Amino acid sequence: MKRSTRLVALVAIVSTAALAAPKEKPPQDTVLLENGPAKVTVKDFDASMTRFPENLRQEAAAYPGVIMKNLDAIFVNRIAAQRAHEAKLDQDPLVQQRLQQIQEAYLAQKYLDHLYDQVKVPDLTLRAEEIYKSEPKRWVVPPTAALDDIIINFVGRTPEMALARGREAEKRIRAGEDFLAVAAEYTDDKNFKKSKGDLGISRLTDLEEPLRVAVEATKAGDITPATRSGPAVHILRVREKYPAMQRSFAEVKSQIMAEEDERIRRKATDDFLMQVRNDPKNLIHVDRVEALRTDIDFSKIDAARAKAIEQVEGRTQPQVK
């Protein structure tokens, strides 16, 4: 008997074992899922995977969840599209026009991606060195510190009460009690048992202003005063402090070259879009365009509706890589 898989079962299959990769991939016309005339093939799946960058497709296909999500979407969309056809929804002139626009948008995106990939980028070694020398401050790693944190939040207490509790913990630590033992008693950090309050190596410039000032004034091996910052009071143990450091060209060369490569490729696609928009042969009938605008008082459009309109608007343009 030919084995079939119902959609309910398909969606339920999520284990790696249930989707163990075959030794050899089936031919493109192999049917993976079907219901009457609705069939999903290997070719359908491969086409859906082009949503991923080419260098990620093989890895993405290693996840059972990715496979199931794609097959489910293709199948459901195909069935629903058939129902739409049977209901003659595709005979609506606006639906037909919108389908054409969707196809054009996809092809436009493919063309922009093609332009991006086809740009002939020269050897950027000398350019990278030039950029490095012209922006030396950009490649300075700011001062950092290895920090541990005791957090006392304002839940169930006023800021003044939290500060008083923080000063109490600070006093015990300065009197010689073990930092971690006091931290375990006072901190409100839910992850403390796992992290022990360790913040790792933190850039001082990334700390909120009160904490940055406190850490800068504290020597390595000491703790900061109980300091209010945002919705909590903190006591930071400064295990080690590291000064600002200039990164060498060798360290940042690949980063600079990658950024310059991206800039050159983006410029090529931007130039194309500008050329299309600024073509002197373009003719816009301003009066006809103006007639499209609905006569609504903008002040009566609430913020939520305005945001919704902006979100839809943002999806109408092809995205450059």
- Each residue of 25-71: pLDDT tens digit? 899 999 999 999 899 999 999 999 999 988 899 999 999 999 999 99
Residue-level pLDDT at 76? 96
Confidence at residue 16, expressed as pLDDT on a 0 to 100 scale: 44
Distance of CA 195 to the CA centre of its chain: 25
Which residue ranges in the chain fall short of pLDDT 70?
1-23, 315-321
pTM of the model: 0.69
Q: To the nearest whole percent, how much of the chain has pLDDT over 70?
A: 90
| Complete domains list, the chain, with CATH | 7-91 (no CATH), 93-139+251-321 (no CATH), 143-243 (3.10.50.40)
Write down the pLDDT at residue 198: 95
Place of tokens 């609504």: 296
Question: Residue 310's pLDDT is what?
Answer: 81
Per-residue confidence (pLDDT) for residue 305, from 0 to 100: 80
What is the pLDDT at residue 141? 93
Q: Which DSSP string do the residues of 152-207 spell out, in sequence order?
A: EE-TTS-HHHHHHHHHHHHHHHHTT--HHHHHHHH---TTHHHHTTEEEEEEGGGS
